[in-house]
Structure 1
Amino acid sequence: MKPLVFDLSRYDAAIIDLDGTMVDTLGDFVAALGLMLNELGLPGITAETVEPMVGKGSEHLISSVLDHVLAPTVAVRTASLFDRAWTSYQYHYRLVNGRQSAVFPGVREGLELFRSRGLRLACITNKPTDFARPLLAAKGLDGFFEVVFGGDAFERKKPDPMPLVKTCEYLGTSPARTLMLGDSSNDARAARAAGCPVVLVTYGYNHGEPVRDVDADGVIDAFTDFGSVRAGA
């Protein structure tokens, strides 16, 4: 029998992460970063290098990439270089957003399941809101969510609990009955601090670390794993 955390009758709402949880956006990141680095006259970067940098917001991603490509030259990342990189990245990501990405298997069916069980759904991501909403729309997922909050929606991002606490307030649900569904320690730490139960997917990014080592209430291979448990089972 699956753990009780998989029983959707225990929840009134679900807060769901975006990158690495619903959509595989690594290709978008690599494409936008490649264009940014080329514009700055810097070496390119591989998907394998980018993957563990994803999930902590655009500022962290750009800083990490610049540090990586500058390391062999012993050059120091300056504020001026970061500002140029930031402007370039924002421009290029807006153009490639959704073009090199794909919805993970089972996500759409899982969202349909959540909706059929009466759960209110919110998407909380560290991706900027202006990138998150068009991506969800491009992938046909926007209609599932009552609200979408990006990394710029609040003063602090995940793993701080603020985005989850504020979302529960918006939905009018108690954290104890609001499931956090994500792919990384960022999601788990935010959920623990907010008082939300948390389940992680096995196929996400998680900063290059094994997701099963993260303190969470459960781990799933697909959103549809929730469908294997009947209410009250």
Structure 2
Amino acid sequence: MQVPLQLGALDAAIIDLDGTLVDTLGDFAGALGRMLHDLALPPIDATQIERMVGKGSEHLLRSVLNHVLAPMDEAQRAIKIEALFAQAWASYQAHYRAINGQCAQVYPGADQGLQALRARGLRLACLTNKPHAFAVDLLHAKGLAGHFEHVFGGDSFERKKPDPLPLRKTCEALGTQPARTLMVGDSSNDAQAARAAGCPVVLVTYGYNHGQDARSVDADGWVDSLAQLA
């Protein structure tokens, strides 16, 4: 654990969802597996999916399709992906909506960490690249929704993390300055967005950082559990 930040100098915290609060890899694997079956395409291993999570549903679907269609040459693969995308999107959305939260687990210490931040007087918002409706449903299903004043998804703003716009807009909603608003996430997407927005950032070490060690990312601190923020 390394957390050099002084939480007393902060007014609020923005918390990522997938890979930070909840391990949703099982949900992704289930919904994507059913989608691929619908499209009569080969399956994909969960370890591959883990490296693709974090940049929104559109990026995830394109990455999965690119992976399972790898035997095709690049030009043919690109044409095939565009031809399949609308059907893949509709199938994935339907399956994810049905499975959302059923194969997901709250990370140990996540609830305690949120309670500790609130006890210190910090206002909390959840900011994720997951679609907003899915994020709200998941937070309610896992008993975490009550911690947050605001929940924003990948479709809440014009751009997604790692663009800084969602963080700036979330700070506006909270009524706080970026320099006094902590970003807590699991990946380089969160860290890059925070740096560009002017927010301090702490990363968890257990999430979905595209197969890379979170400690290799430029951040202000790292924790093995959100409970350590207490």
Quick check: 1:169 aligned with 2:181?
A: no
Quick check: 1:129 aligned with 2:128?
A: no
Given residue 4 of structure 2, which amino acid in structure 1 is its aligned partner?
Answer: L
Q: 1:94 aligns with which of 92, 97, 100?
A: 97
Map 1:2-151 → 2, pairs under 5 A: 3-5=3-5, 7-74=6-73, 75-76=76-77, 77-151=80-154
Alignment check: 8 A CA contact 2:12 2:181 kept: yes
- Mapped to 2, the partners of 1:190 and 1:224 lie a distance apart of 23
- Mapped to 1, the partners of 2:151 and 2:84 lie a distance apart of 31
The count of corresponding residues between Structure 1 and Structure 2 is 226
Given residue 26 of structure 1, which amino acid in structure 2 is its aligned partner?
Answer: L
SS in 2 for 1:15: strand
Following TM superposition, by how much is the alpha carbon of 1:168 offset from its aligned partner in structure 2, in angstroms?
A: 0.6
SS in 1 for 2:69: helix
Given residue 70 of structure 1, which amino acid in structure 2 is its aligned partner?
Answer: L
Q: Deviations over 1:9-42 (max 9, x none)?
A: 1210000000000000000000000000000000
* Structure 1 outlier segments of 4+, above 4 Å: none
Alignment check: 8 A CA contact 2:3 2:202 kept: no
Q: Deviations over 1:162-218 (max 9, x none)?
A: 000011111110101100000000000000000000000000010111111100000
- Mapped to 2, the partners of 1:2 and 1:29 lie a distance apart of 30
Given residue 163 of structure 1, which amino acid in structure 2 is its aligned partner?
Answer: P
Following TM superposition, by how much is the alpha carbon of 1:98 offset from its aligned partner in structure 2, in angstroms?
A: 0.2
- Mapped to 1, the partners of 2:51 and 2:156 lie a distance apart of 24
5+ long unaligned stretches in structure 2 = none
- Mapped to 1, the partners of 2:103 and 2:123 lie a distance apart of 29
- Mapped to 2, the partners of 1:78 and 1:102 lie a distance apart of 31
Provide closer, same or farther for how the CA distance between residues 90 and 12 of structure 1 changes in structure 2, counting only shifts above 3 A. Answer: same
Aligned residues: percent identity?
Answer: 65
